[in-house]
């Protein structure tokens, strides 16, 4: 009785974890399910926050008034237009993909988070408070919520991003690296170095700098201190075929695509309104970058939306090829006959 009782208790103890508790795979699946639902909620709220801030701004109802110069105001309105027409729909689509547990949702969400962090940090910090009229500080809670949601989208999206993201093929990989190298050259030599030297030598010649010096230096700090180094590191990794570059490349190129579309909208609006700081060359240049990034992004995400189809594995013995079929089949029949003859007793042969 004692032995039976001990054995019974041992059996119940052994069966407990299997029946009453979830295994590691089940716990991981449950955590992943909660993660994608959290990501979908974060993206939905982020899309709502970005849409509301753009609609309340000068592009919409005009309730939110930026404290900045007319030339910088054109840039902010261009950014709001890009947010409403491109970024918000992409964010909603990504939330739907997250609900469906699509593998493209995490990198898209993280990339949208990169875009929103860059954009709304400049919206908050790049104002001329106490110097120019406006009321943007009254909407700080809304802008802060958008910023925090962007952080959450980046962190949660990155945590849900697969560790085994494969590197793209050599052609696509080098095309992405080359595009990032060109972004570095364009931002450093074509955009910021020239205007920075002018600001040192004769700032009065620059309407943008004289009217709004705060966003002028803020953009330079973020582009030269964040965008350029990140683009350079990922470009080198992609060019060398480093496995670690696959995950950040998806996120970085997603965010840079949004930024390229946004800056293109700024440049086009400034050109349409005859802004004194407008440049047709910059509008065309950023438009080309936006188009290139959209095409590269479509190529990078294609395996996630259209998985590669592979035919069923076949073996030569089960399904012989055209050239070896007859000979293999004949050898198989001969072997079977030999085996049957060996199994028969000698008297019956």
Tens of pLDDT, residues 95-115: 999 999 999 999 999 999 999
Q: Is the pLDDT of residue 319 over 90?
A: no
Radius of gyration of the chain (CA): 30
- Which tokens in the block code for residue 123? 């919206």
Strand ranges in 79-207 using DSSP code E only, listed in sequence order? none
- Which tokens in the block code for residue 107? 């990198």
Cβ-based neighbours of 88, under 8 Å, separated by 6 or more = 47, 50, 51, 54
**211 closest CA partner among 275, 306, 254, 257:** 275
Q: What is the mean pLDDT of residues 28-35?
A: 67
Residue 330 lies in a domain: no
Residue 194 lies in a domain: yes
Residue 20 lies in a domain: no
Distance CA 72, CA 277 (A): 9
This prediction's pTM: 0.79
Q: What is the mean pLDDT of residues 293-303?
A: 93
The per-residue pLDDT of the chain, averaged, comes to 84
Structural domain including 93 reads: 30-303
Locus of tokens 């019956």: 348
Locus of tokens 């030569």: 316
Residue 238 near residue 174 (C-beta atoms within 8 A): yes
Residue 331 lies in a domain: no
Which range of 13-17, 264-268, 272-276, 302-306 scores highest in mean pLDDT? It is 264-268
Q: How many domains does the chain have?
A: 1
pLDDT class of 222 with cuts at 50, 70, 90: very high
Task: For 147-174, write each residue's pLDDT tens digit.
Answer: 999 999 999 999 999 888 888 899 999 9
- Specify the length of the chain in residues: 349
Q: What is the DSSP letter of 115?
A: H
Residue 322 lies in a domain: no
Residue 60 lies in a domain: yes
Residue 333 lies in a domain: no
- Which tokens in the block code for residue 82? 């890009």
Residue 313 lies in a domain: no
**Helix extents (H) in the chain:** 2-20, 24-56, 70-82, 88-99, 105-125, 140-160, 170-185, 193-201, 207-211, 213-222, 228-240, 246-272, 280-305, 325-343
Return the exposure string of 163-201: e unless at least 16 CB atoms fall within 10 Å of the residue's CB, then b. eebebbeeeebebbbebbbbbbebbeeebbeebbeebee
The pLDDT assigned to 344 comes to 56
């Amino acid at each position: 009785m004692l032995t039976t009782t001990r054995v019974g208790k041992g059996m119940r103890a052994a069966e407990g974890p299997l029946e009453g508790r979830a295994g590691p795979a089940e716990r991981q699946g449950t955590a992943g399910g909660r993660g994608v639902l959290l990501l979908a909620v974060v993206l939905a709220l982020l899309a709502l926050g970005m849409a509301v801030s753009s609609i309340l701004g000068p592009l919409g109802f005009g309730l939110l008034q930026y404290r900045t110069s007319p030339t910088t105001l054109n840039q902010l309105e261009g950014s709001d237009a890009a947010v409403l027409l491109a970024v918000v729909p992409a964010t909603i689509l990504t939330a739907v993909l997250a609900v469906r547990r699509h593998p493209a949702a995490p990198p898209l969400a993280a990339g949208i988070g990169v875009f929103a962090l860059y954009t709304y940090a400049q919206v908050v910090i790049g104002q001329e408070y106490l110097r120019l009229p406006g009321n943007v500080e009254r909407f700080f809670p809304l802008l802060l919520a958008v910023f925090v949601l962007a952080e959450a989208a980046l962190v949660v999206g990155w945590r849900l991003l697969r560790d085994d993201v494969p590197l793209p093929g050599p052609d696509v990989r080098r095309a992405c690296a080359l595009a990032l190298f060109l972004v570095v050259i364009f931002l450093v030599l074509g955009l910021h170095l020239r205007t920075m030297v002018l600001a040192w030598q004769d700032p009065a010649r620059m309407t943008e700098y004289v009217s709004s010096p705060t966003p002028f230096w803020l953009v330079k700090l973020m582009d030269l201190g964040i965008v350029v180094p990140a683009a350079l590191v990922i470009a080198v990794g992609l060019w060398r075929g480093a496995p670690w570059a696959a995950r950040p490349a998806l996120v970085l190129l997603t965010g840079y695509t949004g930024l390229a579309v946004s800056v293109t909208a700024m440049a086009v609006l400034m050109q349409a309104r005859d802004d004194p700081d407008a440049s047709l060359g910059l509008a065309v240049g950023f438009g080309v970058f936006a188009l290139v990034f959209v095409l590269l992004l479509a190529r990078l995400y294609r395996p996630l939306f259209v998985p590669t189809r592979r035919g069923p594995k076949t073996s030569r013995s089960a399904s012989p090829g055209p050239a070896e079929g007859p000979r293999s089949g004949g050898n198989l029949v001969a072997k079977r006959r030999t085996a049957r003859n060996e199994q028969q007793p000698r008297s019956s042969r």
